[in-house]
Amino acid sequence: MNSSVDQAELDKFEAMAAEWWDPAGKFKPLHGMNPVRLDYVTDQIAQACGRERKGARPFAGLRVLDIGCGGGLLSEPLARLGAEVLGADAVARNIEVARLHAAQMGLEIDYRATTAEALAAAGEAFDAVLALEIIEHVEGPAEFVATCASLARPGGAVIVSTLNRTPQSFAMAIVGAEWVMRWLPKGTHDWRRFITPAELETMMSAAGLQPVDQRGMQYNPLTGDWRLSSSDFGCNYIATALRPAN
Ligand SMILES: C[S@@+](CC[C@H](N)C(=O)[O-])C[C@H]1O[C@@H](n2cnc3c(N)ncnc32)[C@H](O)[C@@H]1O
Ligand SMILES: [Mg+2]
């Protein structure tokens, strides 16, 4: 099976691994968007799996894969909702950081230093597969989406978030976040690898998935707030597709 690993991309994350849980550090944008994307992901998983967003552990018994989990920013709140979370990342140091933090929080999460391809080859299947802010860093994004699709059980959901390839995303994610605000080291993102919502939808359909929803994630530089948008897909966005039930 093809490997989604691009070693030069992994090296960037290896170098930043200590900062995962620092809300003011290099992953500040991920911390900022975490509440809105958690809300979105929770909604989509609940819909796909017929769960109500009620009670303390609405996702009890659901198996969720967080591929490219980094330090576990999203794995942790999903585990709190009761999901059995497998957090996978190709960078071993990220997995060490994620494990340590989950233990400090008293959370049980199955963290593994591995790739989507290896999990697929092992025949793993999940109610939901999350690939958040990873697709712009992998080798072969279309193949990567196909691998994610094969990891979802029939009827399961695949949720992908990334950056659109627009003048606006160049201004915000490259000039703003890397050159001006210096949240991220210069070169963390390669604008040419950003993916338009239409391209992502094509990849999902080609992988046999049924695209069901797309939302923009809009950052307000004046207030520092993030919100979901039905009309602004200019920079960050998140999309859901379902694997057809048998
Ligand atoms: C921008 S971070 C996103 C982390 C997390 N998903 C989040 O949104 O909070 C991208 C992560 O993907 C991981 N990654 C990149 N390429 C990968 C691959 N081919 N297989 C698995 N993980 C990969 C990196 O090590 C990094 O932790
Ligand atoms: Mg990124």
pTM: 0.96
Over the chain, what is the mean pLDDT? 95
- For the segment 24-40, what is each residue's pLDDT rounded down to a tens digit? 999 999 999 999 999 99
At 160, is the secondary structure helix, strand, or coil? strand
Pocket of ligand 1 (CB under 6 A): 4-5, 9-10, 13, 30, 68-70, 73-74, 89-91, 94, 115, 132-134, 137-138
The pair of three-digit structure tokens given for residue 227, joined into one six-digit string: 């919100």
**Architecture, CATH, for domain 7-242:** 3-Layer(aba) Sandwich (3.40)
The pair of three-digit structure tokens given for residue 191, joined into one six-digit string: 């604008």
Q: Answer whether residue 1 shows pLDDT above 60.
A: no
Nearest CA to ligand 1 atom 5: 69
Rounded distance between C-alpha atoms, residue 29 and residue 226, angstroms: 9
228 annotated to a ligand binding site: no
Rounded distance between C-alpha atoms, residue 91 and residue 20, angstroms: 13
Rounded distance between C-alpha atoms, residue 84 and residue 105, angstroms: 16
Rounded distance between C-alpha atoms, residue 44 and residue 61, angstroms: 16
- For the segment 142-166, what is each residue's pLDDT rounded down to a tens digit? 999 999 999 999 999 999 999 999 9
Judge if ipTM > 0.90.
Answer: yes
